[in-house]
Amino acid sequence: MDITATSFIVDSLTKAIVEHRLQPGAKLVEQKLADQYGVSRTLVRQALYRLSQNRLIKIEPARGAFVSAPSSEEAKQVFEVRRMLEAGMVRAFVKDAKASDIKALQAHMTQEKLAVQNNDVPNRTELLGDFHVHMAKLMGNDVLAHLLMDLISRSALITLMYQTSTAAAHSHDEHEAIVKAIKARDAEQAAALMDQHLRNVEQALNFNLRPNPI
């Protein structure tokens, strides 16, 4: 098994989903993907199986693989898990963060701001999600970083399906407030701001919208 090639396909398709270049319900054809990546259908099948384990795609017998279309209940559960996980992460980050870690977050904020100002949708989407993962990586917690990557990928699908208008500028402003509280070493304020930030993202979703059919 070519682990490197499989991982590359998984990462590439995940990025396409996060950046909204692959829509919920889109069919993923093995032969087309094999031709696109210059690999065998076996490697593509392995990559699709891994994506199905992360709930980013759904594999249906005799029909094939499709980008997942999360239900409103699943969407609410994803954000509930994120709130529990990320409030604790922020508290731990404030406790142990070095000055260089905080500077790294501030540098990330500068990139975010430029992407928002330039209306660079793909880069903006990636940076806004990566803010959360970046914090886990700065803590040196690879397990947490990978958990967040999976959850944020699923969140990207959810916002694509249920968000009625972009809230990117608001998300960036809320990230800045979180970093400000972190710099002040106010763990409880930072955790409260993170909780409210995730609640704001969820509240911007319209669960009356019907998911794209598969």
pLDDT in tens, 38-86: 999 999 999 999 999 878 899 999 899 999 988 899 999 999 999 999 9
- For 30: left if phi > 0, alpha if psi spans -120 to 50, otherwise beta; the answer is alpha
Return d(Cα 46, Cα 50) in angstroms, integer. 6
Q: Residue 91's pLDDT band (boundaries 50, 70, 90)?
A: very high
Whether pLDDT at 163 is above 70: no
Compute the mean pLDDT over every residue in the chain, rounded to the nearest whole number: 88
Q: Write out pLDDT tens, residues 3-50.
A: 688 999 998 998 888 777 888 889 999 999 999 999 999 999 999 999
Across the range 148-163, mean pLDDT stands at 83
Residue ranges of E strands in 84-179: none
**Amino acid at the residue 61:** P
pLDDT at 165 over 60: no
For a pLDDT cut of 70, what percent of the chain falls above it? 93
Contact 152, 133 (CB under 8 A): yes
DSSP-based three-state secondary structure for 28: strand
Q: Mean pLDDT over residues 80-106, rounded?
A: 96
pLDDT, average across residues 84-111? 96
Set out the domains of the chain in order of their start, with CATH numbers. 3-67 (1.10.10.10), 72-203 (1.20.120.530)
The beta-strand segments (E) located in the chain are: 27-28, 57-60, 64-67
